[in-house]
Amino acid sequence: MDPTVQNSIAPLPRHALVGSATEAVTAGVSPQRVEDGKRIIILATIGFAIVALMQVLFDAGLSPWGFENWRPVLYAYVLWGIALGAGQVRMRGAAGHKALFVLPAVLFTVALVIFPTFFGLYIAFSDWNLSSFEGRRFSGLKNLYDLFADPYYWNAMKNMVFYALMVLPQYAIAFGLALLLNADIRARKFFRVAFLLPFMLSPVAVSWMIGKSLMEYRFGPVSNLARQLGWDNPTFFTSPWIAKFSIVVMDAWVWIPFIMIMLLAGLQALPKELSEAAKVDGASKWQSFWQITFPLMLPVSVTAIVLRIIFQLKLADIVINVTSGGPGGATDTISSFIFREYRDRSNVGYGTMLAEFYLVIIIIFITLLLNFVSRWMRRMH
Amino acid sequence: MAIRTHGLSARHYPSRIVIYGLLIAWAFICLFPIYWTFTTSFKVAVDVTQGHFIPWVDFTPDWKGWRSVGLSPDTIGQISTARDEFFKRFENSIIASVCAAALAVVIGSCAAYGLSRFNYKFGPMKNNDISFFFLSQLILPPVVLAMPFLVLYKELALLDTRIGLILIYTLTVLPIVIWIMRDQFDTIPQELEQAALVDGCSVWGAFLRIVLPIALPGMVAAFILSVILCWNEYFFAALLTSTNAKTLPVMVASQTGSQGINWWSMAALSAAAIAPLIVIGVFLERYIVKGLTAGSVK
């Protein structure tokens, strides 16, 4: 990050009391300290740049001096971050102290998200197979053309649409459960813990517990139950649509508690008088739910559904472990497809292009979704 | 928790039966797979294939599954490579998830406090933009980062190390921590710190001595939720670790893949892997709920 950008963090007092104190301190910083601070930051930046440049040249084979790996550059970045913080404090007094609160998180995220994402773009436009000796070769838009011609990728994309839509039935079930838990019942604590437990379990364990054990064809209890209910051949993972629904069931088992807990909190925050007033007016329970509870719950519902869709778009673990995307790609998600692209073929360049393209689609989709939701919510009010 | 009477009421007899019926049915759906896993870990092959359910009634518990992981009473004193392997993975999982959660809570709480109290301006970015910048990391799917990280970690010699895992796990839970903690700090009245500032406390002094103790429940909630998410993480662990830093989920997953399904040892392994989470779930449910519901109800 450019240090001059950092320097422009200005103290904008939100509260008069804190604000006036801040300004007094900022004004009290002597020019000497400002000079010192600037010097620290400039020196650290030069130091970091030298280390990074040295390693770049060494790595490119242009210079004999360098380290055996890039880790010293990482240390240099950490030191640079510390110097930046120290310089801020020196230069700007109390305002610098305030900047220290967000600085670590910002530097951390920039180093681990922004940089890798852009580095990913560099990989994405190259032909790079980690298992071949040739190393990286720039290949322009070839990966992108391949992507558009890849039927499996678009098939996985279609599956993602299906999985995202399946959030709605999960929401309906979760709402029902939240209503049940909110009713006047005994042993509420027991039921709440029991209902929450699936959310705590790792998807990998769930894959085995449900996918490979309970749904086992020969003697899994669920298969046995299905046989007794009259389904002769209860294979959950061999025909495309049944396999898709089986994955959805497992995924729902894990995630319904998440939606339920959010909705339950929403229900408990509703003013009690409303439903009582409805009761006095003689409204039936059904009416009072649709006319009072449900509309009041809309904001919480929307938050829960949007968050759930965001998490659903990352669905991978269960698919990887239960079906590996089979049969014939019917249960594949983008993530599991790319996972195999790397695991089976070490195809880093193409895999990264697929992932970056998916990211663009997700960003567009989420932006549209949020826009639509906020407009719709405004119209409701 | 206070008893609430609005919504469905369970006072009338018929509706009461329906409500409890549904509650028990769903509790069964939630608990049966867990029950099945734990009981299967005490079954021998015959009991599994014949679909026996209840220990001591239709099958005799056997330590076979636990013996294969070296955790049964008769093998616990002996040397067992399977057990060493299991504890190594267990240790990796604990270190990776606890350290990542702690790191995320520390830097996330600071950032959340700053964003909740002060006005920043990073170039064109103001507080809301910075918050959005952090929260937007939530939508980033792991696949996007996975391969750049693979290459970067190779260059940084961080592949297959715990530190590498800790860094990436911190990254994945950081937005959630900031979300929870910001909500927490927003509910703490500012007068407390202002009084401390007038008394001559520094900004950091007021934060550490006055605000943090009040915000502790939120931090515990964020920490526990982060530990659970990191403990269960599979995708990055599967790609970025191999022999040294492999975590428990990767071990469980690899067992199903290689040698067909070895029922008793798989059941024992799964049971051991989920047991800590069930303990956390039962005893710390309050905090998990608090973490999940932060910011959703305004």
Q: How far apart are CA A345 and CA A325, in angstroms?
A: 16
Cβ of A200 within 8 Å of Cβ of B194? The answer is no
Residues B210 and B64 in one domain: no
Number of domains composing chain B? 2
pLDDT at residue B23, rounded to an integer: 94
Cβ of B168 within 8 Å of Cβ of A21? The answer is no
Residues of B in contact with A74 (CB under 8 A): 156
Residues B142 and B199 in one domain: yes
Of all residues in chain B, the one with the smallest CA distance to A273 is: B6
Residue B168 lies in a domain: yes
**Portion of chain B with pLDDT greater than 70, in percent:** 92
What pTM did the predictor assign? 0.87
Q: How far apart are CA A269 and CA A65, in angstroms?
A: 64
Cβ of B6 within 8 Å of Cβ of A275? The answer is yes
Residues B29 and B158 in one domain: no
Residues B208 and B132 in one domain: yes
Cβ of A117 within 8 Å of Cβ of B5? The answer is no
Residue B172 lies in a domain: yes
pLDDT at residue A250, rounded to an integer: 92
Residues 158-217 of chain B with CB under 8 A from chain A are 158, 167-168, 170-171, 174, 178, 190, 194, 197-198, 202-204, 207
Residues B172 and B59 in one domain: no
Cβ of B141 within 8 Å of Cβ of A362? The answer is yes
Place of tokens 């909190």: A265
Our CA-based measurement puts residue A241 at a distance from the nearest CA of chain B, in whole angstroms, of: 23
DSSP structure string for chain B: -----SSS---SHHHHHHHHHHHHHHHHHHHHHHHHHHHHTT--HHHHHTT--SBTTTB---SHHHHHTT-STTTTTS--HHHHHHHHHHHHHHHHHHHHHHHHHHHHHHHHHHHHHS--EETTEEHHHHHHHHHGGGG--HHHHHHHHHHHHHHHT-TT-HHHHHHHHHHHHHHHHHHHHHHHHHTS-THHHHHHHHTT--HHHHIIIIIHHHHHHHHHHHHHHHHHHHHH--HHHHHH-SSSS--HHHHHHHHHHHTS--HHHHHHHHHHHHHHHHHHHHHSHHHHHHHHHTTT--
pLDDT grade for B260, boundaries at 50, 70 and 90: low
CB < 8 Å & 24+ apart, contacts of A111-115: A111/A77, A112/B145, A112/B167, A112/B168, A112/B171, A113/B137, A113/B140, A113/B145, A113/B171
pLDDT at residue A18, rounded to an integer: 40
> Is B147 buried (19+), middle (13-18) or exposed (0-12) by CB count in 10 A?
buried
Which of A1-15, B31-45, B124-138, B246-260 is predicted least confidently?
A1-15
Our CA-based measurement puts residue B164 at a distance from the nearest CA of chain A, in whole angstroms, of: 11
Residues of A in contact with B190 (CB under 8 A): 15, 18
Intervals of chain A under pLDDT 70 = 1-28
Our CA-based measurement puts residue B138 at a distance from the nearest CA of chain A, in whole angstroms, of: 8
Q: Out of A73, A197, A348, whose CB is closest to B147?
A: A348
Of all residues in chain B, the one with the smallest CA distance to A202 is: B232
Cβ of A205 within 8 Å of Cβ of B274? The answer is yes
* ipTM of the complex, rounded to two decimals: 0.86
Residues of B in contact with A178 (CB under 8 A): none
Nearest by Cα to A113 from B157, B172, B233: B172
Cβ of B121 within 8 Å of Cβ of A10? The answer is yes
Give CA separation, A266 vs A17, A90, A107, B296, in Å.
35, 46, 35, 8
Residues B289 and B194 in one domain: yes
pLDDT grade for B228, boundaries at 50, 70 and 90: very high
Residues 208-227 of chain B with CB under 8 A from chain A are none
Residues B39 and B167 in one domain: no
| Structure confidence by residue, pLDDT tens digits, B164-209 | 999 999 999 999 999 999 988 988 888 888 888 888 888 888 898 8
Our CA-based measurement puts residue B74 at a distance from the nearest CA of chain A, in whole angstroms, of: 26
Our CA-based measurement puts residue B154 at a distance from the nearest CA of chain A, in whole angstroms, of: 9
Domains of chain A: 3-124 (no CATH), 148-380 (1.10.3720.10)
Question: Which of A22, A208, A274 is the best mutation test for B, with the most CBs of B within 10 A?
Answer: A208
Residues B158 and B271 in one domain: yes
| Structure confidence by residue, pLDDT tens digits, B3-56 | 444 445 545 677 888 899 999 999 999 999 999 888 888 887 777 777 777 777
Residue B8 lies in a domain: no
Q: Assess whether pLDDT exceeds 50 at residue B246.
A: yes
Residues B110 and B34 in one domain: no
Our CA-based measurement puts residue B57 at a distance from the nearest CA of chain A, in whole angstroms, of: 17
Mean pLDDT of B264-273: 84
Residue B7 lies in a domain: no
Contact B174, B137 (CB under 8 A): yes
Task: Pick B50 or B231 by higher pLDDT.
Answer: B231
CATH of residue B274: 1.10.3720.10
Cβ of A214 within 8 Å of Cβ of B36? The answer is yes
| Structure confidence by residue, pLDDT tens digits, A193-206 | 999 999 989 888 88
Residues of A in contact with B4 (CB under 8 A): 182, 184, 268, 272
Nearest by Cα to B192 from B209, B175, B178: B209
Of all residues in chain A, the one with the smallest CA distance to B105 is: A105
Residues B88 and B125 in one domain: yes
Residue B73 lies in a domain: no
Residue B293, chain A, CB below 8 Å: the answer is: yes
Residues B246 and B110 in one domain: yes
Question: What is the domain range of residue B38?
Answer: 13-68
Residue B298 lies in a domain: no
Mean pLDDT of B122-142: 86
Residue B76 lies in a domain: no
Average pLDDT in chain B: 84
pLDDT at residue A5, rounded to an integer: 38
pLDDT at residue B220, rounded to an integer: 93
pLDDT at residue A41, rounded to an integer: 87
Question: Which of B53, B147, B288 is the best mutation test for A, with the most CBs of A within 10 A?
Answer: B147
Residues 62-91 of chain B with CB under 8 A from chain A are none
Q: Which of B43, B68, B93 is the last residue of a domain?
A: B68
Residue B5 lies in a domain: no
pLDDT at residue A328, rounded to an integer: 83
Residues of B in contact with A317 (CB under 8 A): 234-235, 249
Residues B199 and B138 in one domain: yes
Instruction: Look at strands A126-127 and A137-138 and give their pairing.
Output: antiparallel
| Structure confidence by residue, pLDDT tens digits, B63-82 | 877 877 777 777 777 777 77
Residues of B in contact with A268 (CB under 8 A): 4
Neighbours of A283 (CB within 10 A): 16
